[in-house]
Structure 1
C-alpha cells in the first residue's frame, strides 16, 4: 500500500531525528551543503513533538535509528563500517547495530524453534543458550545437538519482523516515487528501481531457507579458498524462521584490541578481506554482500570466518569482465580505457564524448594516487563521482548496487584494521589474475568451446529445422520480397544450417 499515508511515516522519521537530537549530528557528519541543512531543519523542527523518544540511555543517532526500526538499522550498519565518512567515534557508536541489539524473549525463541522444527527444544538440543548475538532481523543462540553432541549456531527470526520491514520499505517506495515526480533530474538515478532492488534483497533475508541455500552455495564455492571458511548448514534443522549451522568459534572483527593482542598482522588481514571479496565476486559471480565486522570472525587457525548470508550478491559473467576492466583501468591509471569500457557496456549514453568522460574520471582518480589512505576523504570522493555521473547522464545500474555497496563496506572494514589500507593496491593481484584467466587467449578458447557446446545441443533437431525452413521458403506469399532478396535470405539460412551441421559434427567427433 504505497499511498499518501506513508507521508506520516516519513514525517515521523524526520521528527524522530529532531526529537532525539540526531538531526543536527547527522547533518554535520555528512558535510552537506548549508542550504540542505537549513531545509532539513525547517522541515523537521515543526513536527519534533511527533517523533519517537527511543532509548534515552543511547546517544542521539543510535537512539533515533533503533527507534525507527530494522530498515533504518540496516543503513546504520553500513555507516558503522565507514569511520572515514562519519568519523571513528560515530562508527564505533553505530557498531552496536551489527550484533548487539536488544534480544527478544527466550520463551518466544524456544516456542519458535519448537513450532518450526516440530519438536521441543530439549528433544533436539542437549544445550540451548541465551542469545549470543542479536541484530536487526534475527538473533543467534549457541546450542549442542543431542544426536552427535556437535556445537551449532541456531538463528531465529525476530517476531513480526516481516511486517515491520515491509512497512518501512513501503514508505521508501513512496518517497522514491515522490522524488521522481518532484525532481525529474533524479530519474536517471532510478530511485524507485533502487528501492525495489533493496526490497527483493530484504525478502530473501526474511526467509531463512533462502539464506541456508545461499550459505550452502557459498560454502561450496569457497571450500578450497585458503584462509577463508563458511560454516556448513544443517538442512534437517532449518526452516522459514530457524536456521541451524555448525558453530564457528573466533574473535569478532569488531574487537580490534583482541585482534591486536594475538600479534596478528593487521595490514595482511585488512588486505585479505578486500581480496577475498573481489575473488568471490569476479571468480564466482556470487559474493557476501553484508561483510561488516559483525558478520566476520577470525578463527584460531587464522581463517577468516564469514557469517550471516541473508544478503548475497550475484553478477553475470559479462558484468564481471566489465567491472574487472574498470578496476584495472583505475589501478593502471588508464582513464581512457575506463571511459571506453563504460561506453562499450552502455553505462554512459552514446551522445557523450569518450575523451571528455576520460578527463572527468582522471580528475577524480588522480588525487587518490600518491597519497596515504588516511589523507583521502571518501565522502568527498563519492561526491565527485556523483557529480560525474550527473554530468554525463549515467543511470543507476541496479545490478551493480550490491557490488558497489559491498565494495564500500569492505573497504571500511579493512580500514578499521589498517587505517592506511589502499584498496587499489590490495585489489591489484586479484584483478590481474582474473583478467589473465578470463580475458586472454585461453579465455577466448574457452568461450569458443562454450559456443560450440551450446550449438551442438541443437544437433538432434537439425532435420526438422531444415524441413521447416525449406517448407517456409516454398510457401507462396502475397507480399513476397524480390527474387534477389529472397535468394540472399535463402542462402543465409542454408549457410547458417550448414554451419550448425559442421559444429554438430565437430562437437560429436
Structure 2
C-alpha cells in the first residue's frame, strides 16, 4: 500500500511540475511565507519555457490527468463561483460532462463482454461517438430492438488501480495529519477517507446505480418536481447500464432556459424542495447533484420539472439524524441559537462540558449576518470559514455520516446561485421543515408507529416466555416463583415502561404539548401501575 502511494505521489509531483500549479500560490490568500516557499522547490530553478495555458486550463488539465478522484473534486469546485475567479470556474465547468472519452473500441469490447453478445445483436442502432464522458464512465446513444431510445453507460477500463493508489495516498495524508495536529483529529480525516472509499467503489458498480435510480424513480413517481429515467434491467450488468434516453436542457444553460421562458424562480424553489423531500420524506437523496447530472424538461417551462441522471452516489440518514438536522435548521430559522447550542451538546458533537452561553454567543456571531438577505448577498465562503473557526474553538467534531449531505448542500447552493440569485433559501426551506415536523406527530404517523410496535408484541411475548422457561429449568424442583406466574403482567409493565420512555422522549424534544405525548403517558402509567 505504501509503495503504491509513493508511486502516486511521484505522479502527482510530475503533474504539478508539468502544469506549473505552484504558480497558483501567488493568486491564493495564503500567508506570505507559504506563498514564497514555492521558490524553495527544486524545479523552480530549472530552465523552462513560457506556458501557453491560462491558470484555469492548467488546473483543469491537471485534475483530468490525475484521475477520477481529482476530477470529482474539480466538479464540486466548479459549482462554487462565489469562491473561485470566473476564469477558473469556467474551465472547471468542463469537468462535469466533457472529460476526454476513452476509445470507442474499448467501450464496444467491454459492452459486448458484459452482455455476452454483439452490439448488433443487442441494439437496433448504436452510436459509436459518445454523448458525454465523465470521470468514471461514458455514455453512448442507442436504440433497442423493441424500439425504445436508450443510453448505454459503460465504466472506464482500468480505473480500480488508479483509485486504489489515490486512496492509499489519501489514507497516508489523513493518518499523518491526525498524528501531527489536534485540529486534524477533530475533523476525523481517516473516517472521511474511509467513507469516500466506499462511495467511489460503489460508483464502479452500475447495478448499484441502476437500483438507486429505480428507487428514486419510484419515490417521485408521477411528481411534477422530478423525473428519473426508466432502467432497462434486462441489459444491465456490473459495468454496463442501459436506461431510457431523456431530452432536456442542461440546468446551467441559462440562455436556452430563458429563451423557452422558464419560470426561473419556481425552478430554483423546486430544487430546494426536491432536496428536502429526498432528505426528510424519503431519507434517500441523490448525492452527486453537480450540474452535469441535472437537466430541465422542455415540456412545461411555466411549471419546470427537473430530470436527474447518474444515481451512482446516494445518501440516507437515520431517523435520529433527520430529527437532529430538522430541529437544528428550524432553530436557525427562528434564530434560537441557544437551542442550536444545546442540541449540539446533547448530541455529543461538542464536549458535554462546553459552556452553553459561550457556544450560543459564538453561533450567533457567525449566523446572524446571513438572515433576511437574498442568496446572492450571502458570502457562504466567509460563513464556512468562520464556522470552522468556531468549530476549532469548541472542539466540534465533523460527523462522517453527514459528509455526503454537506456535499449535496454545496451543490444545491451552487445551482441556486446560477438559476435565481434572488432566491431566499431560508424562507423556501422553513415551511417544508415545519410541515415535516408536524407530520411526525400527526395521528396518522403515530398510528403507523404504534402498528409497527404492536406487530412486535407477539414476538416479544414469545421471547419473554422462552427466557422465563430457560431461567426456571435448573430449579425445576422448586416451586414456580411469583414473577413467573405473573409473566404476562411483567410483559405489560415492560410495554408500559416503553410507552413512558416514548412520552419522555417527546417531552424532551419539545412535543409534550401534543396530544399523542399525553396519550403515551397515560397508557404507560396505566400498564405500569395496574395490578
TM tier relative to shorter chain: 0.7 to 0.9
Deviations 1:263-315 (A, max 9, x none): 11212212211220111011111100000110011112232000001111111
Match of 2:491 among 468, 477, 497: 497
Q: Does 1:28 align with 2:27?
A: yes
1:405 corresponds to:
407
User: TM-score, structure 2 length as denominator?
Assistant: 0.84
Q: How far apart are residue 28 of structure 1 and its match?
A: 3.1
Match of 1:131 in 2: 130
State the match for 1:348 in structure 2: 350
Per the TM alignment, residue 193 of structure 1 is displaced from its structure 2 partner at its CA by: 0.5
Question: What's 1:330 paired with?
Answer: 332
Match of residue 97 from structure 1:
95
Q: CA separation in 1, counterparts of 2:436 and 2:35? A: 44
Q: Secondary structure at the match of 1:225?
A: coil
Residue 110 (structure 1) shift:
1.1
Moved more, 247-256 or 111-120: 247-256
Q: Retained in 2: the 8 A contact 1:77–1:292?
A: yes
Q: Does 1:291 align with 2:285?
A: no
Does the CA-based 8 Å contact 1:251-1:259 persist in structure 2?
A: yes
CA–CA distance in structure 1, aligned partners of residues 353 and 30 of structure 2: 32
Counterpart CA distance in 1 for 2:453 and 2:125 is: 54
153, 156, 159: which one aligns with 1:155 = 153
- Normalised by the size of structure 1, how large is the TM-score? 0.88
Deviates more, 1:263-272 or 1:229-238: 263-272
Structure 1 gap segments, 5+ residues each: 477-486
Bigger Cα displacement from structure 2, 395-404 vs 347-356? 347-356
Partner of 1:172: 170
- Structure 2 CA distance, aligned partners of 1:448 and 1:385? 40
Change (3 A) 1:400 1:501: closer
Contact 2:465 2:487 in 1 (8 A): no
Determine the structure 2 residue equivalent to 1:427: 429
In the alignment, is residue 281 of structure 1 matched against residue 279 of structure 2? yes
| Alignment counterpart, residue 457 of structure 2, candidates 427, 432, 455 | 455
**Alignment check: 8 A CA contact 1:15 1:45 kept:** no
Contact persistence 2:461–2:491 (CA under 8 A) = no
1:300-342 CA distance string (max 9 Å, x none): 2232000001111111111111111111111121111212222
| Alpha-carbon contact 1:11-1:47 (below 8 Å) kept | no
Residue of structure 2 in register with 1:268 after alignment: 266
Q: How many angstroms apart in 1 are the aligned matches of 2:187 and 2:45?
A: 30
Distance in 2 of aligned mates of 1:213 and 1:48? 54
SS in structure 1 opposite 2:142?
strand
Offset at residue 26 of structure 1 (A): 6.5
Whole-Å separation in 1 of the counterparts to 2:384 and 2:62: 25
Check 1:156–1:355 CA distance in 2 against 1; reply closer, same or farther (3 A cut): same
Contact 1:230 1:307 in 2 (8 A): yes
Q: Deviations over 1:142-196 (max 9, x none)?
A: 11001x1000111001111122222211111111111112223311111010001
- Structure 1 match to 2:208: 210
Change (3 A) 1:490 1:10: farther
CA contact under 8 A between 1:459 and 1:501: conserved in structure 2?
no
- Residues 1:263 and 1:228: Cα distance change in structure 2 (over 3 Å): same
Q: Deviations over 1:478-500 (max 9, x none)?
A: xxxxxxxxx99999988643446
RMSD across aligned positions (CA) = 3.1
Residues 161 and 309 (structure 1 numbering): CA distance in 2 closer, same or farther, change over 3 Å? same
User: Which residue is equivalent to 1:480?
Assistant: none
Matches of 1:55 and 1:127 in 2, distance apart?
42
What secondary structure does 1:359 align onto? Answer: helix
Change (3 A) 1:488 1:329: farther
Aligned pairs for 1:311-390 within 5 A: 311-390=313-392
Distance across 2 between alignment mates of 1:451 and 1:55: 68
Q: Residue 481 of structure 1 corresponds to which residue in structure 2?
A: none
Task: Check the 8 A contact 1:328/1:432 in 2, yes or no.
Answer: yes
Task: Give the SS at the match of 1:99.
Answer: coil
What SS does the corresponding residue of 1:383 show, helix, strand or coil? helix
CA distance in 2, matches of 1:37, 1:106: 44
Aligned pair count reads 489
Query: What does residue 243 of structure 1 align with?
Result: 241
Name the CA distance, whole Å, in 2 between partners of 1:413 and 1:81: 7
CA distance in 1, matches of 2:60, 2:45: 17
Measure, in 2, the Cα distance between the counterparts of 1:32 and 1:215: 42
Using the alignment, how far apart are the partners of 1:105 and 1:488 within structure 2?
79
Secondary structure at the residue paired with 1:59?
helix
Give me the whole-angstrom Cα distance separating, in 1, the residues matched to 2:7 and 2:398. 28
**Once the 2 structures are TM-superposed, how far is the Cα of residue 239 of structure 1 from its aligned partner?**
0.6
- 1:34-45 pair list within 5 angstroms: 34-39=32-37, 41=38
Tell me if structure 2 keeps the 8 A contact 1:116–1:242. Answer: yes
The answer as to whether partners of 1:17 and 1:61 remain within 8 angstroms in 2 is no
Q: Quick check: 136-145 or 214-223, which moved more? A: 214-223
Assess, with a 3 A threshold, how the Cα gap between structure 1 residues 149 and 21 changes in structure 2: closer, same or farther.
same
Q: Does 2:256 correspond to 1:258?
A: yes
* 2:513 alignment counterpart: none
Alpha-carbon distance between aligned partners in 2 of 1:48 and 1:183, rounded to the nearest angstrom: 32
